[in-house]
Each structure stands twice: as structure tokens, then as C-alpha cells.
Structure 1
Amino acid sequence: MKHTFTLLMLVVFTLTQAQQKHTVYFDFDIDEANNSSVTRLDDWMTQNKNAIVEKVYGYADSKGNNDYNILLSQRRADDVLNRLKAYGIAVNNNVEVKAFGEDFEQDENQAKNRKVEIYYTLTEQARPEPKPDKPEFTKKVEEAKVGDKLRLPKLYFYNNSDIVVPGSKPTLSELLVIMRNNPKLKIDIQGHICCQTVETGDISAKRAKAVYNFLVRNGIDSKRLSYQGFKSSRPVYPLPEKNEDERDANRRVEIEIIEN
């Protein structure tokens, strides 16, 4: 009995020790990791391809009220989780995602409180073959030829705005990973609108620029990127569209392969 108890405690201790942590930091009131942390996260993902993510905890500093900070912490956790998934890091099916407002031990240095902590374990061997399939859009980009145009899937903006809805951030993260993994790739980002022959507010160009800014902000050389808006001059379906599917197809952002 004593031997069994000792063995059990050794197993528990080993499992506890096996769980490790990586921290990602954010700038004040921003829900996307800052550039230096993105670089470190990329290095970590490259060196830990056999990691399995068990927990993702988001935090904020003590500025603002608790409810706001919980929402901000949740968006930060989602940002990191999306980056991990886009890169292909394994995430436990029961991954624990938590957002903390002010209910944690705050560091005196507020910058250290604006963070996401990734708790993970490492398998003894790399994940077995076959490797997980690449996302469909990633495969399309890697197979594309110069001059090909590809629509960014599931990229949506708030109405008459260049602000990306939170649910579309995985698309931007996937494009970011594609650009990082294919350093010779150059693209032109092209915005289009639906429903109206006369554009107000230059929305198509602003939406293309929003994608451009996201990539540059996360370390992609601007020399590899360009952007432009085509208004409603290149619809997939003739105006006026017959239904929401046709409108959805017309209001899009595409990338054109300039060099690969």
C-alpha cells in the first residue's frame, strides 16, 4: 500500500512538473499581442511544435472597471488562442480559457499585468503522422500562381465600417501565418463593396487598408504588401444583387498574388 501511494504521488508530481507556461504581453487597452511578444510567440511555436495547450488565461491591468477588463482579457485570450490554432499548435479539446478582471495578484509594474498566460505540456515525441491538414485557405495560397485572386474567407466588417468583427480575427491570423511562412510571397490586398454603384466613405479601400495595417503591425514588411479599393466596379454578381448570398459574395476582400 505504501509503495502504491508513493508511486501515485510520483506520477502526480511528474504530471504537475510537465505543465509549462509561456507569457504573451499586450500594450495598454489593446487586444492584439504587441510586436515583441508576437516575435517571441513565433519562436516558441517553432521550438515547441509538440506542445499541447491546456489553459489560456487572459489578464488586464487595474485601469478601468472590472467588467471592462474581463472583456478585454477575454479578447486577449482569444487573440492568442487564434494564433496558436492558425500555426497548428495542438489545443486540448477541453482547453480552459479564463479572463480575469481585477481578481488576481497585480504586479506593481502594470505592463506585466497586461498579458496572456499559455499553460502547456510537451509530448515526448512529435505528433504522429499523418500531420493535421493545413487550413483550406492556406493550401489555396500556397498552390496559387502569380496573378491569381483569392477571397479572404469569413472576413466580415461592421456595417459601413473598416473595423473587423471579432469573429473574423482567425482569418487575419491565418493570413499572418501564411505571410510569415512564405517570406517571398507578395500580395495586393483588394477591397470590394456590394449593393450600390456609388461608394460613400471610400469603404472598399479602407477595408483593404485595415488588413494591410494588421499585417504591418504584426511584423510583415510593407514592401511585400499593397492595397487598393475597387468600390463596386468588379462584382461577382451583377448589381442589384438578387439575395444575401450574392451581396455577401460582392462585399469582399481579396488578395492578388504578386510574387511567390
Structure 2
Amino acid sequence: MFFDFNKDFPNQSSILSINEWMASHKNIEITKLLGYCDSIDTKNYNKKLAERRIESVRNLLEKSGLKFNKNLEKIAFGKDFKQSKIQAENRKVTIFYNEQQIKPIESELTKQIRNSKVGETIKLPNIYFFNNSDQIVAKSQPTLFDLLTAMEENPELKIEIQGHICCQLVSDINDVSTARAKTIYSYLIRNKIDSKRMTFKGYGTSRPIHKIPEKNETEADENRRVEILIVEN
């Protein structure tokens, strides 16, 4: 995990990456955390900064429910190590772990996709975004991982990712529905799913489940969704 200059909490890019990683590594035991800094400032200052970085990563992993070995090693090197010429690569915490090989329980979403037929549309449950944004929140990661698993286990599967929004009477002014569909698409691309198997499209408010304006927040939430259309299976 990487850190910005003189910061003891991981940067946003690392937070997104570690959330994805944790979603697919539930059965692990953390055995060692090593902290590092760039070459700027004194040896003593950097060692203390590296110690704080280790602690912030430990707290982050702990809050996500990961287990730690009872003899967890925490070693702060500060700047006393072979440094990269790229300073940003030196500001980091390295995580070591053991993984238990436990066969995962198939999720309802993965099962539903596996048994789906061409032309069927499936809502992705528990997908949440920040308000009026395409940035997905951390608690959506399990659903993303389930979708990724379905794509990996069904190599013939091709989908269209469809974004929908709520509440707007005129149109999707900022094209948020397309941006949100693209977020799901980009996640799968980052995880090595072939782009030829996927397309994405925003439908704005053109396909609401409930008539707009919605009567309550429940109806708005059901209109505000991401679905996948089964193109080939």
C-alpha cells in the first residue's frame, strides 16, 4: 500500500486497490507488516512515520475483518533500505499473509448469472455510489467480486452493463448513469476480463421500475440501479 508524501494514511488509489483485494481474500491470516519511507527527512523521523503507516494499515485490515497471526511482525525500516529512484515507490507498507484454501460458497448473484438465459436482465444487488458520482463505495466490493467470479467461471458469458438513475424528470444531465456503468466495466477490465465480452450503456431515467417522480426513497433507490443484460451465455 502506498502513501502520499509525509502522510501516514494510504492514498486513495491504494484504498481502492486494497478494498478490491480484501473482497477476494477473506480467508487469510496477516503475518507481517513492513513500513517504509522515502529518503527525505531524518532517519528517526522516518522510522516513526513508517511505524504510524504500519499502524494505519493494521487498523484498516482489522476493521475489514481480516485475521492476524498471534505473532504478527511489525517492522519499520524508515528509509534504511534499498530505495527506488522513484520516491513515490518508497512510501509504502508491504503486507505478508498466509491463505487457507477454502472452497468459497457460491453467492446468489453468481448462481443467478450462471443459470441465466440470453436476453435476461439481472440487477446487481448492493451496488452503491457516492451522491451524483461514479465513485463506488467500499461496501459494494463483495457484489463486484461476485460478478467478477461469474465472468471468470463462465468464459462464454457476454454482458451489457446498464446504468440507471432516479428522480430527474428531464434527463440524465451529467450522464451519471453511463459513468456508473463504466465504473463496473473498468473494474472488470482491471481484473483481466476481456473487453470483447462486455459493453456498457447509460439509460438515465428512460427505464424506471417506478414512475418518476418517485413516491418515496425506497422507489428512488430501486430506480437508481446497475443491471447486466445477458448477451451470450
8 Å CA contact 2:32–2:97 kept in 1: the answer is no
8 Å CA contact 2:121–2:227 kept in 1: the answer is yes
Matched residue, 2:72: none
Matched, 1:102 2:50: yes
Give the secondary structure class of the aligned counterpart of 2:25.
helix
Cα separation, 1, equivalents of 2:201 and 2:13: 31
Alignment of 1:115-154 (within 5 A): 117-120=95-98, 133-154=105-126
8 Å CA contact 2:24–2:145 kept in 1: the answer is yes
8 Å CA contact 1:193–1:231 kept in 2: the answer is yes
Shift of 1:136: 1.2
Q: Deviations over 1:195-222 (max 9, x none)?
A: 1122211111111111112211221111
Matched residue, 2:2: 60
Matched, 1:237 2:210: yes
Alignment-mate amino acid for residue 217 of structure 1: R
8 Å CA contact 2:31–2:98 kept in 1: the answer is no
Alignment-mate amino acid for residue 196 of structure 1: Q
Cα separation, 2, equivalents of 1:75 and 1:202: 23
Q: Deviations over 1:160-200 (max 9, x none)?
A: 11111122122222222221221111000000011112221
Deviates more, 1:104-113 or 1:133-142: 104-113
Of the three residues 136, 142, 147, the one matched with 1:175 is 147
Cα separation, 2, equivalents of 1:99 and 1:203: 40
Distance change >3 Å, CA 70–CA 216, structure 1 → 2: closer
Matched residue, 2:136: 164
Matched residue, 2:196: 223
Matched, 1:192 2:167: no
Cα separation, 2, equivalents of 1:246 and 1:66: 42
Cα separation, 1, equivalents of 2:96 and 2:116: 34
8 Å CA contact 2:33–2:93 kept in 1: the answer is no
Q: Deviations over 1:58-87 (max 9, x none)?
A: x325x42233337776654433211224xx
Listed as ranges, the gaps of 5+ residues in structure 1 are 1-58
Matched, 1:252 2:225: yes
Alignment-mate amino acid for residue 152 of structure 1: L
Cα separation, 1, equivalents of 2:169 and 2:112: 31
Bigger share in helix: 1
Q: TM-score, normalised by structure 1?
A: 0.63
8 Å CA contact 1:71–1:99 kept in 2: the answer is no
Give the secondary structure class of the aligned counterpart of 1:258.
strand
8 Å CA contact 1:74–1:98 kept in 2: the answer is no
Cα separation, 2, equivalents of 1:98 and 1:170: 25
Shift of 1:99: 9.6
Deviates more, 1:235-244 or 1:165-174: 165-174
Alignment-mate amino acid for residue 50 of structure 2: E
State the 4+ residue runs in structure 1 displaced beyond 6 angstroms.
95-99
Cα separation, 2, equivalents of 1:218 and 1:73: 15
Aligned residues: 189
Alignment of 1:34-45 (within 5 A): none
Cα separation, 2, equivalents of 1:113 and 1:178: 36
Cα separation, 1, equivalents of 2:32 and 2:177: 35
Q: Deviations over 1:139-159 (max 9, x none)?
A: 111111111111111111111
Shift of 1:237: 1.2
Cα separation, 1, equivalents of 2:135 and 2:18: 19
Distance change >3 Å, CA 119–CA 204, structure 1 → 2: same
